[in-house]
Structure 1
Amino acid sequence: MILRHYKNLDGVRGVAALMIIVFHFFALTDYNSNTYHLMEKITPFGKSGVTLFFVLSGFLISRILFNTKTDKNYFSNFYLRRSLRIFPLYYFSLILFYIFYPIIFNNPVASLKDIVVFATYFQTFPITFNWPIEGPGHFWSLSVEEHFYLIWPVLIYFLSEKSIKTSIFILLIGSFIFRIILSNQGYDPFYFSFTNFDSLSLGALTALMERNKKFTSSTFLKPISYFLLTTIGITAMVYIIFNGKEIHMITSLKLTLISVIYFLGISLLILLKPQNLINKTLEAKPLSFFGKISYGTYVYHIFIIQIVRDMIPTSIWFLDLIIVILFSTLIAFLSYNLFEIRFLKLKNNFTYSGPNLKDAKIRVS
């Protein structure tokens, strides 16, 4: 099969980035406003934008891996292309954080140990287990994806698709159990690598479903739509009934349900016709543009929030939020076109040679 480029998923990436920016804005600021405090109660859901990123990434990465596993340069092409996309901006931002951040905000300089932890993508461990660490905390999700990338290509290469389905089931159950164990020990299960592999593997399940010729709108559109609505209803009931109650299994169940909602949502989007109103909205230029630079907006937005909060606040939360979004977009746009694009062009040296991907237009951020 020739891999289709889903323009609507660029918009989904943009939506996820906006969700996270809004969540962090309300988590890191404080305004004396009734509407602000009302929004504070709603915006924590934006935290799940990271889960949406995981499901989406699991889908986009897995569909490439499934279709290139016969390539002689399967591993080298994948890891080199991923490195060119992720590492330059990641390490550039670490330099900014550890050198310029202390100067701008008059903070103490981080220790070499902290720098090594973030440089080697091990930050999910101290963040989860409350070990003292100084660094850009929101980079935990980048660590999760890197850990998944180390494991998943190997499994896809050596296992049959039937065994991959079994692996996905094991990751689903394993992540759920891991979350219960961590919650029971008093740790937040949201930030650990192995407790997020279910989201990424559900994205991989969507990629497997896409490979099935029977996965068509006429066959699956209605069942997935009904299942999605049912899961949303169950999730809402769980949140309402158990709001404020610390029950470890329920905490783990909530995260699983959110992952399933995004898995079903993305599966539904690839079945909907392009002229569908939802897809037309997601394919609109503003969301597509925001999705294209979403990696940069995710990396830079925390710094922008802190600068706006500490140095140029207007005392009007809505105006400050708009400033944060605009500046995050501007910085990410400049970063993409002046810095990242230089490395992205090098990906052309490691093109996929398989017949399934030779003519396909694919973007994975």
Structure 2
Amino acid sequence: MNNKFISLQILRGLSALYVVFYHVYIIYMQPEYGSKTLYQDIAKHGFLGVCFFFVLSGFIICSAHLKDIGIKEKLIPYVKKRFIRVYPIYWFYLTAFIVAASLGFGYPDFSWNPINITSSYLLLPLAPDLTLPLKVAWTLLHEVMFYAAFATAIYFGRKVIWLASIWVLCIIFNFLFNIIPESTFFSVWNLYFIGGIFSYFLFSKIESKTSITLFVVSIIMLIFYTFLSEDISRIRYLSDEKNAHLHVLLIIAFSLFVSSISKMETFINFNRLKLLSIFGDASYSIYLVHSAAISLILILIKKFKLTNIFSDQLMFIIIFLTASLVGVLCHYAVERPFLSFFNNRSKGGKAAHLK
């Protein structure tokens, strides 16, 4: 990781933990787990971690590879780096989940259709009604799409800007008129990556003292969002017609937030909080395994009749901490060895902890 952006690595980890908190809340609400609603006022906004991830990805990719645009020789190293960062460890966790589901663990609710499984492994929306075994992987569909778009820019150069502009306009048009509501390619979620690109350019232009103002503005916008989103208790409600405008508020807020907090590293020493970057390093594993870990923990609790030992609120916290710890352990036991193995066989390199 580039130490210049240690603040983003810390925030990335905290965002991953917030997503875990959100999913404990969501899974606890399911009938098979007791239909309990706990810590709703705090937990229901946990999906904002996804919004942050998307903007952060746009910022980091721009930071690392903007200079590569138009240089065809940079395409292969870029593709290798992105592939190694996303696919091998995802395939490992996905396969483990599918095997566990085939053995009867949990409550699998995905299609075993070969096209659906192939789509899940490729992270491409090939199946008409895609049901991902790892539900959280829906974000990776957008991530891979953004990586592919950036790869196109690296190969063809700035001449593809007009194509990118048309794509963005189509997304906005689809967002306003809801023409293809379930489209991955034209989803409003893709605009968060564009916000990340804007965030990087803003970061490169603003002065350090201006970053404080932008930071305050971003926080005010996020607070404003919480007042406008009282009826949103889970992520899917954000895309309802009456709430869709909140995407615009969040894209702008997180774009300003990422650019300002990055610039503030010029006068704030975030190294004092460097220990927290452990969660940032482990954020990908935390993100991929936490839902399965939560479900497994709840199954064990139910099987061994442990529900009466602690209050529901304390059990919630125990599950949250345990699932987060499982993610960290998977990072060190599985993800890091995978990255080391594949990077040692790749010409360019070292594992990048920021996507």
The answer to whether the superposition gives a TM-score over 0.5 is yes
Aligned Cα root-mean-square deviation (Å): 3.7
Decide which moves more: 168-177 or 191-200: 168-177
Judged with a 3 Å threshold, the aligned counterparts in structure 2 of structure 1 residues 347 and 67 are, in CA distance, closer, same or farther, namely farther
Q: Which secondary structure state, in structure 1, belongs to the residue aligned with residue 258 of structure 2?
A: helix
Q: Partners of 1:124 and 1:43 in 2: how far apart?
A: 33
Judged with a 3 Å threshold, the aligned counterparts in structure 2 of structure 1 residues 193 and 136 are, in CA distance, closer, same or farther, namely farther
Kindly indicate whether residue 224 of structure 2 is the aligned counterpart of residue 225 of structure 1: no
Decide whether the 8 Å contact of 1:144 with 1:193 is kept in 2: no
Judged with a 3 Å threshold, the aligned counterparts in structure 2 of structure 1 residues 170 and 250 are, in CA distance, closer, same or farther, namely farther
Using the size of structure 1 for normalisation, the TM-score is 0.78
Aligned to 2:51: 51
- Give 1:303 shift: 0.5
Q: Partners of 2:317 and 2:216 in 1: how far apart?
A: 36
- Give 1:148 shift: 1.1
- Give 1:140 shift: 0.3
Aligned to 1:261: 253
Name the count of aligned residue pairs.
338
Judged with a 3 Å threshold, the aligned counterparts in structure 2 of structure 1 residues 114 and 241 are, in CA distance, closer, same or farther, namely closer
- Give 1:157 shift: 4.9
Judged with a 3 Å threshold, the aligned counterparts in structure 2 of structure 1 residues 170 and 39 are, in CA distance, closer, same or farther, namely farther
Q: Partners of 2:182 and 2:67 in 1: how far apart?
A: 36
Kindly indicate whether residue 119 of structure 2 is the aligned counterpart of residue 117 of structure 1: yes
Decide whether the 8 Å contact of 1:168 with 1:198 is kept in 2: no
Q: Partners of 2:321 and 2:126 in 1: how far apart?
A: 29
Deviations 1:202-259 (A, max 9, x none): 11122223444xx2213x2244135324533553454359999999654321112112
> Counterparts of 1:96-107 in structure 2 under 5 Å?
96-105=96-105
Q: Partners of 2:217 and 2:85 in 1: how far apart?
A: 35
Q: Partners of 2:44 and 2:232 in 1: how far apart?
A: 16
Q: Partners of 1:74 and 1:302 in 2: how far apart?
A: 36
> Counterparts of 1:305-344 in structure 2 under 5 Å?
305-313=294-302, 314-315=306-307, 316-344=311-339
Deviations 1:162-193 (A, max 9, x none): x85x77766655434323343x77x578x776
Aligned to 1:357: none
- Give 1:337 shift: 2.9
Structure 1 residue identity aligned to 2:10: G
Percent identical among aligned pairs is 20
Question: Structure 1 stretches of 5 or more lacking a match?
Answer: 353-359
Structure 2 residue identity aligned to 1:340: E
Aligned to 2:199: 206
**Residue 154 of structure 1 is aligned with which of 152, 155, 161?**
152
**Residue 180 of structure 1 is aligned with which of 162, 176, 196?**
176
Decide whether the 8 Å contact of 2:293 with 2:323 is kept in 1: yes
Deviations 1:85-138 (A, max 9, x none): 111111112211221223242657823232122122135975xxxx37362221
> Greater RCO between the two (CA within 8 Å, min separation 6)?
1
Decide whether the 8 Å contact of 1:23 with 1:47 is kept in 2: yes
> Counterparts of 1:8-47 in structure 2 under 5 Å?
8-30=7-29, 37=37, 39-47=39-47
Q: Partners of 1:15 and 1:141 in 2: how far apart?
A: 18
Question: Structure 2 stretches of 5 or more lacking a match?
Answer: none
> Counterparts of 1:125-164 in structure 2 under 5 Å?
131=129, 133=131, 135-160=133-158
Using the size of structure 2 for normalisation, the TM-score is 0.79
Deviations 1:12-67 (A, max 9, x none): 111110111111111111499xxx74622442211121111101111111111113
Judged with a 3 Å threshold, the aligned counterparts in structure 2 of structure 1 residues 39 and 330 are, in CA distance, closer, same or farther, namely closer
